[in-house]
Chains A and B, each alone.
Chain A
Amino acid sequence: MAEIYPSLAQCAILAAAFKVLLFPAYKSTDFEVHRNWLAITHSLPVKEWYYEKTSEWTLDYPPFFAAFEWFLSQAAKLADPAMLVVNNLNHDSWQTVYFQRTTVIVTELVLVFALSRFIKSAPQQHKTLAHVASLSVLLSPGLLIIDHIHFQYNGFMYGVLILSLVLARKQSTLLYSGITFAILLCFKHIYLYLSLAYFVFLLRSYCLDPKSILKPRFGNIFKLGISVLGIFGLAFGPFAHWNQLFQLKDRLFPFSRGLCHAYWAPNIWAMYSFADRVLIPLAPRLGLTVNHDAINSVTRGLVGDTSFAVLPEITKEQTFALTFLFQLLPLIKLWLNPDSWETFIGAVTLCGYASFLFGWHVHEKAVLLIIIPFSLIALKDRRYFGAFRPLVVAGHVSLFPLLFTAAEFPIKTTYTVFWLILFLFAFDRVAPVPEQPRVFLFDRFSLIYITVAIPLIIYCSIGHQLIFGLGRYEFLPLMFMSSYAALGVVGSWVGFMVVYFTA
């Protein structure tokens, strides 16, 4: 079979060239967050890392990420020592910017490596599909917007995740998959959302006998247990020794935040808020009571308590219960059918969906938690692709509010549209025909859905200001966008659930 072009390396070179050109682009407070962490890890003893609070952007990632920052800070010394001073708040000399942006590009090589392993691991007849899917992840507008403009290290983190998912493909590397995932958790705890799928999968296909769940494989349990405990011990052991675990818990899980994040991630709660807004004028006629204190706070949507005027309040416990419930459903299937790697990836994806859709204080960036695992199986057949389509449109469009400056507007929109056109067509061309016929009208839903995106984006980016003028009803386009995007994510979730359970 002929090689496939362009190769991963070629695309990585092209993308890197573009990313270097984005050095002077807008950068969010996350840039300062990471600079501050460089400074903290470089200039303070490990004991004080999780207590330092000169900057409001305290260290709130697990210890491996802090160690990673310490490692980067060794090189940062050579670029600009001033960035390593804890009191140099908001320091952004060009050396600092170039250095930090470069580290994002370089650490993304982990992703390139993981994707090349993914292509290698694919069976011969599916190489093209794996190749196209890898390119779509490598060139993902989500990573471009979040990492290379907004500023974070998701390319690195998702590289580790994909590596772990690929290692789960073969029985012989299952242990390493578990180890890699444990390491990933010690880098960034957001991946806890996916951990149930890993737990069930490793328990069923590694720790228990494939033929009978009543025969545990003690050797495997021992190996996995020791490795995972070892990794967590390495990460958290020193802090446990210093009795800092409660401090770490407070830093890593700040539960004082509200239900919805500033821009409203496109999840169930965005739709709930939208419904609440719509009900306010209707409430008197329907005989509902309106909580007048809440009216102003919902429109602002700032971090903090989101309260509802008409609908009942949502508590943390309720969101946890819902998340857990909807994670459990796909895991039952995974438990019963652990042999198929696709089922595992599907379960990971659905865990991502459940936590994104029902979670407490979900950030819109977390949508990558769904998109990236899903990309690996989106080309399994056209039914999977059908569910994938609205997700990528909604998920990427919902990232637009992250960048609000005029200079980046053409980049985020053009790049996303470019990616959507390129990969939706490429996927459409290579996706194989499913074994089962189509079960419901998902194609038409997604077509209409995608078509609506165009006028909506135009309205929200330009039209709204022309009609209402600058600064009036600013929440309106945001709410439209997040409700629209929520509809897409929920729709694709329902579609994928059907595909997953009927597969």
Chain B
Amino acid sequence: MAPPTPSSHRPRKKHKLPGSVPGSNNSLILSSGNEKSFPAFPLVSFLWAGRAGVSQWLILPLILMAVGLFRWAVSLWGYSGFQVPPMHGDFEAQRHWMELTIHLPISKWYIYDLQYWGLDYPPLTAYHSWLLGKVGSLFDPAWFALDSSRGIEHPDLKVYMRATVFVSEYFIYIPAIVTFLRRYTRAQGVHAWSSSIALVAILMQPATILVDHGHFQYNTVMLGLVVASLDAILAGRMLWACIFFVGALGFKQMALYYAPIMFSFLLGVCFFPHIRILRLICISVVTLAAFAVLFAPLLLGAIGEEAHAAQASMPLPPLLEALPLAANQKSWVYGPVFQMAQVIHRVFPFARGLFEDKVANAWCAIHTFYKLNRFPAALLQRVSLGATLASIFIPSVVIFRHPRPSLLLLALSCAAWGFFLFSFQVHEKSVLLPLLPMTLLLASDGGLSKETRAWVGWANLLGVWTLYPLLKRDELRIPYFVITLLWAYLMALPPTSLETYRSRPSSEQSTVALEPHLLTKLVHMAFYAAMIGWHLVEAFVPPPASKPDLWVVLNVLIGAAGFGLAYLWCLWKLITQSRRIDEEIEAEASRKKKE
């Protein structure tokens, strides 16, 4: 007898949709009093049907396809440096690295024609470029022909390059975010449905899409490795966390923004609640081993006659020059040492200024009113180092004292804001680093409540707004407005809606505390008004002839003020949460005493 077919006329069970979702105080479902419930913001509407009874196996692929479509659609637009000879932009830089890594011996990677986009990212980027260059050459070797391919602009090459960003993201960033959210929301007691909503909100983050798929970079690879490292921490696999984080550092030195917190956390778990020496040893050994593996191909490639000859033609890297004893050029060790010094010299360009372009951090803001170039570079470097250390001191100490995963995101955002505001040689695109952990907060308990949504949304919109001058240069104005406004719309944020800042009765009772404070509302409204006003002025009023950069400077000043505020909010949140943990510990202790 044939088994009954599932889709014939068998009566089907009615799925009962619960009015409110258990285990979440995200207040996603509002009620208007007369038994009618409605979604709190548009993004909730789009996932409304997934409230109950729909498998994650269906929701997740659909989400990933939808966000993928938006990414690919953005990538149809312009990229950095299109038709801007002779240097072009980031697109050409990345393509050039593919070209040079597949054609040159490994010993020449960091010394070949440094004037034309010399490789200045850590080794993992170089290996990644090598792989992509090899694969791309299968399609058309002309795209990556040594020297002759410089500045090449073929539509098929663009498709290939865009696809590499896309594939890299879907192999690293997206799985990392998905698994991290699954673990994190479970730990926070957040329902799978609101986790899916947070996932969409995080993956539609405008700044990340626009920089990676519009402007052209591979930030999501580094960010994805960081998230993978956080995921490993949540899973209790500290050694994997080290490996992933070394990977992130090895891909892009910018991951250093997170390093103090990761370091303090991993140190903290070895000391609290009790000292675990073995764990400390394991963590240090694995970290060192990961670095060794990362650099091994580079260093091994620097041994030998050919490498020696190549190095001889180069000036000594400053690091090697600073060495107290003159290196023996005949020794076989010399090659690797030179290579190492050269990589560090390339990756950390201390010779450059305090800040390069207009960037919304403290130095650029101060410089507007009080010219900083009157001071010697060495002093500025020291001041910048001091300020950065001061800004990351509190989060580092808190996370060291309370190495709890629940505090990690706040501590990471705090430290990354500190770095962004005060450190040396910051690029405007680095704003993605503080935005990532801050946006991940949406997945935490109460993360989709109005208060967190207001702050996270505001920081994201401000962040992408400070990128506008850059995106405008890349002819990405329309994608900027579409992607940014779409995200604001989905999250019910200004300028599309004032819903987040309005008080409404909720179907869940305990959410009064999660409404934004009156002061928050005022400050945010002021910033939104400033951003809208700035766009109008920038579009319709030409800047005065004597100050052609006036609008950009204004953007930077507003941005820096807002980012400072975002830093303070993260810091305040971190401190209140750690205080709560302290109190819990005390209460626990006193209860034990009584017993």
What's the Cα separation between A407 and B156 when bound, in Å? 8
A434 contact set on B, CB distance < 8 A: 9
B166 contact set on A, CB distance < 8 A: 410
**Interface 9-mer from A309-317, A334-342, A411-419:** A411-419
Q: Give B contacts to A, CB under 8 Å.
A: 5, 7-12, 36-39, 42, 44-46, 48-49, 58, 61-62, 65-66, 68-70, 72-74, 76-77, 155-156, 158-159, 162-163, 166, 478-479, 482-483, 485-486, 489
Instruction: Judge if A5 is at the interface, Cβ distance under 8 Å.
Output: yes
B9 contact set on A, CB distance < 8 A: 382, 433-434, 437-438
Partner of A422, one of B39, B62, B77: B62
Q: A481 to nearest B CB, angstroms?
A: 22
B45 contact set on A, CB distance < 8 A: 5-7, 10
A437 contact set on B, CB distance < 8 A: 8-9
Contact A421–B61 (Cβ < 8 Å):
yes
Contact A2–B65 (Cβ < 8 Å):
no
A10 contact set on B, CB distance < 8 A: 42, 45-46
Q: B50 to nearest A CB, angstroms?
A: 11
Contact B76–A6 (Cβ < 8 Å):
no
B11 contact set on A, CB distance < 8 A: 433
Instruction: Judge if A241 is at the interface, Cβ distance under 8 Å.
Output: no
Which A residues between 1 and 51 are near B, CB-CB below 8 angstroms?
Answer: 2-7, 10, 13-14, 17-18, 20-25
What's the Cα separation between A443 and B482 when bound, in Å? 42
Which A residues between 102 and 159 are near B, CB-CB below 8 angstroms?
Answer: none
What's the Cα separation between A14 and B73 when bound, in Å? 13
What's the Cα separation between A222 and B124 when bound, in Å? 80
Contact A24–B76 (Cβ < 8 Å):
yes
Partner of B489, one of A13, A418, A421, A426: A13
Q: Which A-chain residue is minimally distant from B160 (CB atoms)?
A: A406
A20 contact set on B, CB distance < 8 A: 478, 482
Contact B42–A2 (Cβ < 8 Å):
no
B58 contact set on A, CB distance < 8 A: 421, 425
Instruction: Judge if A305 is at the interface, Cβ distance under 8 Å.
Output: no
Q: B169 to nearest A CB, angstroms?
A: 13
Q: Which A-chain residue is minimally distant from B42 (CB atoms)?
A: A10
Q: A2-B37, A410-B166 are in contact. List 5 more A-B contacts (CB 8 A).
A: A5-B38, A5-B48, A418-B65, A421-B65, A422-B62
Contact A22–B76 (Cβ < 8 Å):
yes
A21 contact set on B, CB distance < 8 A: 70, 73-74, 76-77, 478-479, 482-483
Instruction: Judge if A428 is at the interface, Cβ distance under 8 Å.
Output: yes
Q: Which A-chain residue is minimally distant from B37 (CB atoms)?
A: A2
Contact A24–B77 (Cβ < 8 Å):
yes
Contact A17–B486 (Cβ < 8 Å):
yes
What's the Cα separation between A410 and B485 when bound, in Å? 24
What's the Cα separation between A29 and B80 when bound, in Å? 29
Contact A418–B73 (Cβ < 8 Å):
no
Q: Give A contacts to B, CB under 8 Å.
A: 2-7, 10, 13-14, 17-18, 20-25, 382, 386, 406-407, 410-411, 414-415, 417-418, 421-422, 425-426, 428, 433-434, 437-438, 443-444
Contact A382–B39 (Cβ < 8 Å):
no
B42 contact set on A, CB distance < 8 A: 6, 10, 13
Q: Which B-chain residue is minimally distant from A19 (CB atoms)?
A: B73
What's the Cα separation between A4 and B9 when bound, in Å? 25
Contact A407–B155 (Cβ < 8 Å):
yes
Contact B61–A407 (Cβ < 8 Å):
no
Q: A23-B478, A411-B69 are in contact. Are A382 and B7 (CB under 8 A)?
A: yes
Contact A406–B159 (Cβ < 8 Å):
yes
B72 contact set on A, CB distance < 8 A: 410-411, 414
Contact B69–A18 (Cβ < 8 Å):
yes
Contact B76–A407 (Cβ < 8 Å):
yes
What's the Cα separation between A466 and B162 when bound, in Å? 22
B485 contact set on A, CB distance < 8 A: 17
Contact A415–B48 (Cβ < 8 Å):
no
Q: B89 to nearest A CB, angstroms?
A: 18
A18 contact set on B, CB distance < 8 A: 69-70, 73
What's the Cα separation between A23 and B479 when bound, in Å? 10
Contact A407–B159 (Cβ < 8 Å):
yes
Q: A61 to nearest B CB, angstroms?
A: 29
Q: B281 to nearest A CB, angstroms?
A: 48
| Sampled A-B contacts (6; CB under 8 Å) | A5-B45, A10-B45, A21-B74, A22-B76, A24-B76, A411-B73
Q: Which B-chain residue is minimally distant from A418 (CB atoms)?
A: B65
Q: B238 to nearest A CB, angstroms?
A: 38
Contact B156–A406 (Cβ < 8 Å):
yes
B62 contact set on A, CB distance < 8 A: 418, 421-422
Q: A2-B36, A415-B69, A438-B9 are in contact. Are A25 and B76 (CB under 8 A)?
A: yes
Q: Which B-chain residue is minimally distant from A21 (CB atoms)?
A: B73
Q: B245 to nearest A CB, angstroms?
A: 32
B478 contact set on A, CB distance < 8 A: 20-21, 23
Q: A405 to nearest B CB, angstroms?
A: 8
A407 contact set on B, CB distance < 8 A: 76, 155, 158-159, 162
B482 contact set on A, CB distance < 8 A: 17, 20-21
Q: B62 to nearest A CB, angstroms?
A: 6
Partner of B7, one of A2, A415, A428: A428
Contact A414–B76 (Cβ < 8 Å):
no
B479 contact set on A, CB distance < 8 A: 21
What's the Cα separation between A428 and B12 when bound, in Å? 11
Partner of A414, one of B39, B69, B483: B69
Contact B76–A433 (Cβ < 8 Å):
no
Contact A3–B36 (Cβ < 8 Å):
yes
Contact A438–B39 (Cβ < 8 Å):
no
What's the Cα separation between A411 and B75 when bound, in Å? 11
A23 contact set on B, CB distance < 8 A: 478
B12 contact set on A, CB distance < 8 A: 433
